[in-house]
Amino acid sequence: MNEQTPARSAPFKGVIFTVSDLAVSRGGRRIVAGVSLEAAPGDAIVLRGPNGAGKTTLLRAFAGLLRPDEGEVSIAPAAGGEGAGGASETSVFCGALNAHKAALTVRENLAFWAALYGAPTLDNKAGRIEAASAQFGLDPYSDYLAGALSTGLARRLGLARLVIAQRPLWFIDEPTASLDSASIETFLSLVEAHRQRGGLAVIATHDPLPLKGARIFTLAAEARAA
């Protein structure tokens, strides 16, 4: 793994991420209710809770991929910042699926994401692909079909999207599942560098991730009884 950090990247325009009294259902069943939290630039929030507590559902609602029943998710510019845009311009969602195409090579997948997430800042597309590939140790696999990667390598490819997207808000579901310990270290240093740039990260995980000053948000399983 390459130890290079994305420190040369410019800081983000700060955003404040606010969730007020959020309630979300899936398939007609209330999964979570009454969730409120606020995060400022540099914050990391770790979502915890037993299986079925609604961590993934909550992350999808944060990222604007699910419409909440009640409550509101808002992304506002921090003091002095210009318009932050909606979730569609400021956030990246890394779900349990890695969102890669098995029939494309690793490089083709990275290039596709760079084109999609390129909208806000079109600068240095090739550089972003290089950085993402190097940081997650994907360089030797550039020409492999993504379908031929092992589970752990595919997960690294999925997480490389975070580096490519260059967006301040990260919503990550179980990032460290199937990663080796060196990759977990890389991932953690990436999150720390992201926070130093003024980025925010919301991470759902069962693993004890040593993130400095991270706030733990625990979801209770019985929330669904509502």
Residues that bind another protein (CB under 8 A): 26, 60, 63-67, 87-88, 91-93, 95-104, 108, 112-113, 115-119, 122, 158, 161
CB of 93 to another protein, least distance (A): 6
Which DSSP helix (H) or strand (E) runs through 139? none
CB of 222 to another protein, least distance (A): 23
CB of 36 to another protein, least distance (A): 21
CB of 218 to another protein, least distance (A): 25
Cβ-based nearer residue to another protein, 99 or 221: 99
Give the DSSP per-residue string, 115-131: HHHTSS--TTHHHHHHH
Cβ-based nearer residue to another protein, 60 or 211: 60
Name the one residue in this structure whose structure tokens are 């752990």.
152
Cβ-based nearer residue to another protein, 125 or 214: 125
**Separation between Cα atoms, residue 45 and residue 58, nearest integer Å:** 13
**Separation between Cα atoms, residue 94 and residue 136, nearest integer Å:** 15
Cβ-based nearer residue to another protein, 98 or 211: 98
Max Cα separation, the chain?
Answer: 50
CB of 15 to another protein, least distance (A): 16
CB of 99 to another protein, least distance (A): 4
Contacts of 118-127 spanning 24+ positions with Cβ under 8 A: 119/89, 120/85, 120/89, 120/166, 120/167, 121/166
Strand order in the sheet with 15-26: 29-39, 15-26, 70-77
Query: How many CA atoms, within 13 angstroms, populate the side-chain half-sphere of residue 163?
Result: 33
Cβ-based nearer residue to another protein, 26 or 30: 26
Residue 201 · residue 45 · CB < 8 Å: yes
Cβ-based nearer residue to another protein, 108 or 192: 108
CB of 216 to another protein, least distance (A): 25
Cβ-based nearer residue to another protein, 156 or 161: 161
Q: Determine the residue type at 112.
A: F
Name the one residue in this structure whose structure tokens are 């260059």.
166
